[in-house]
Amino acid sequence: MQSRWKAAGLCGLLALVPALAQATTLYLSPSGSDSNTGATAATALKTLKGVLTRVKAAAPTDAVDIVVAEGTYVGQSVIWTYFNGQPITFAPPTGATTKPVFDGGGADLSWFTMDDSTDAAVPTNLHFIGLAVTNYWLGLDLGRNKAAGNSHNEVREMLFERIGGAYSSGPPMGYAALRLRNSSFNTIAGNSFQDVRNSDSADSDGDGVNEDLTSYIHAIYAAHNAHDNIISDNDFNQVSGDAVRTRNGSDNNLIQGNRFVAAGKYSAYSDWVADTGEECPSMNNQFKDNTVGDGYLGPFKAGYVTHTYGPGDRCGGTEALRIIESGTVME
């Protein structure tokens, strides 16, 4: 049986950073070079992999700021493996007027995959602010191995657009624009998820028969003990699967103040657990004060704005406490 996490002071307030706080700063630019130092805008690095190499070599113990210059970065992908417990932030420079764009070009790529920390007690503390991610099979993947896990990350004012099997040469069944696995105490706020889709006619298992894969992808997919996350003030538009889905013991998440338009094949938000096996239903997730229009295929069935799938009585769960919905505004 999986242990249950109790709600622990979910709060949208950000701690103020001391004015004299130290930070290591690196610069990234489409016109940069990974042979540069990255120490100034004039000596910027070119790729996220180049940034990771520099950071791991320097092994800073203070905060790390990666200043992402405006422009378009083509075909980039990274598995991030450096954590020191301090904030590591990817954001455009102060005064930027457009979002820097990471364009996967429709290749079989995930933009940014965060490896799990080797020590669950040390927060991974990655912050993604004000960037655009487009034409990828999967956008941002927080957590890989479901082991030590990751926590206290932030995804804010991002644009995820044209994500999934419908927009890449990868497997036709994509899973998410933003995937959380054993990922907790994160803030996901003020983002836009646009055109997150799988194909309605593709062969996912090679048996020569095309299937409708639209329901398998989600804008946000929180699975395998992804608990105590705040998902607030986001826009979801043209999402072919349920826009937000939780799975397997992903408890105490707050989904509040979001707007759903043509987002969700069956529901705006759903919790899923396998019919057989040892997975646990997710418990005490709040769907609060959200604005919901039609789903991806038209109006939702009555009672299906939120919905649960699979047995709710495993691991001490009760069906009544899986999703707590209040204040939904239909438009």
Q: What is the pLDDT of residues 79-107, one digit of tens each?
A: 999 999 999 999 999 999 999 999 999 99
CB-based contact 108:140 (threshold 8 Å): no
pLDDT tens-digit readout, 218-255: 999 999 999 999 999 999 999 999 999 999 999 999 99
Q: What is the CATH number of domain 104-330?
A: 2.160.20
CA dist 261 and 199 (Å) reads 19
Using the predicted structure, report yes or no on whether residue 2 has a pLDDT greater than 70: no
DSSP letter for each residue of 125-136: -EEEES-EEEEE
Residue 182, SS3? Answer: coil
CA distance 126 to 180: 13
The sign of the torsion formed by the CA atoms of 292, 295, 299, 303 equals: negative
Please state, in angstroms and rounded to a whole number, the distance separating the CA atoms of residues 122 and 180: 17
- The confidence band for 13, taking pLDDT boundaries of 50, 70 and 90, is very low
Per-residue pLDDT of 243-295, as tens digits, reads: 999 999 999 999 999 999 999 999 999 999 999 999 999 999 999 999 999 99
